[in-house]
Amino acid sequence: MLTLETWLEQATRTLSKDSAQQVRTEIEDHYHAACEKTTPGEALLALGDPKAANRQYRQTLLTSAEATFLRSSKCEAQALCTRPLLKWLSRSAPIAALLAAAVFFWKGQTATAITLLGGGLTMGVFFLAPFLPIYTRERSRIARIVKWTLFTATFALAFGPDPLKNAWLVGACLWPLAWTEWKRATIRRKTYSTQWPKHLYL
């Protein structure tokens, strides 16, 4: 027999701990308020199908998988920003790539120079973005547009003058980045920007 507790267990399945607690508080308050006007059974029926409710909750609230992804990406961002050696390498790598590009341009090896130039700019956006004042929706959107433009251009240059022939390889290289961006976009859609950690703006 369906009870309030079993309804809540089904409705909060796969939700994060905070999301599940939010749903429990709201539903319990709504249920007890309804019980003052009708029977417990009718109040429970008025809540609807718990599985359908779970599907709706997963569209608007963080799931446990998304919460885990958010925590892991936060740890990665903190590791980059707090460890002196990684911080130094992240800042020096783009500069080294740009200097190498200048050397190859000077030697007349234009194709290699252009690839290094794109790679240096891409690394600069990727590694230096956490240190930039990106903390609004507008700046976040601009940073992502710049990042993906440089990513796409760099991979296109790296695979030769006709990158469409190797489109599958470009797609395979960009897929992990696209999956990460899709996960971040989903989390951004479900949370207020005031609750975003720094790495979620990037």
Q: Which two tokens stand for residue 91?
A: 């800042």
Residue 167: per-residue pLDDT: 67
Output the CA torsion 136→58→18→47 (10° steps).
130
Q: Is the pLDDT of residue 77 over 70?
A: no
Task: Catalogue the E-assigned strands of the chain.
Answer: none
Q: Which residue type, as a one-letter code, is found at position 179? A: W
Q: Give the largest Cα separation in the chain, rounded.
A: 85
The pLDDT tens digits for 84-138 are: 666 667 778 888 888 888 888 898 888 788 778 877 877 777 777 777 788 888 8
Residue 85: per-residue pLDDT: 67
Q: Which two tokens stand for residue 124?
A: 């600069």
What is the overall mean pLDDT for the chain?
Answer: 82
The pLDDT-based confidence of 83 (bands split at 50, 70, 90) is: low
99: nearest Cα among 121, 126, 84: 121
Q: What letter would DSSP give residue 191?
A: S
Cβ proximity of 86 and 78 under 8 Å: no
Q: Is the pLDDT of residue 179 over 90?
A: no
The contacts of residue 172 (CB under 8 Å, 6+ apart) are none
- Give the span between the Cα atoms of 19 and 58, in whole angstroms: 9
Please list the residues that pair with 194 across neighbouring strands.
Answer: none
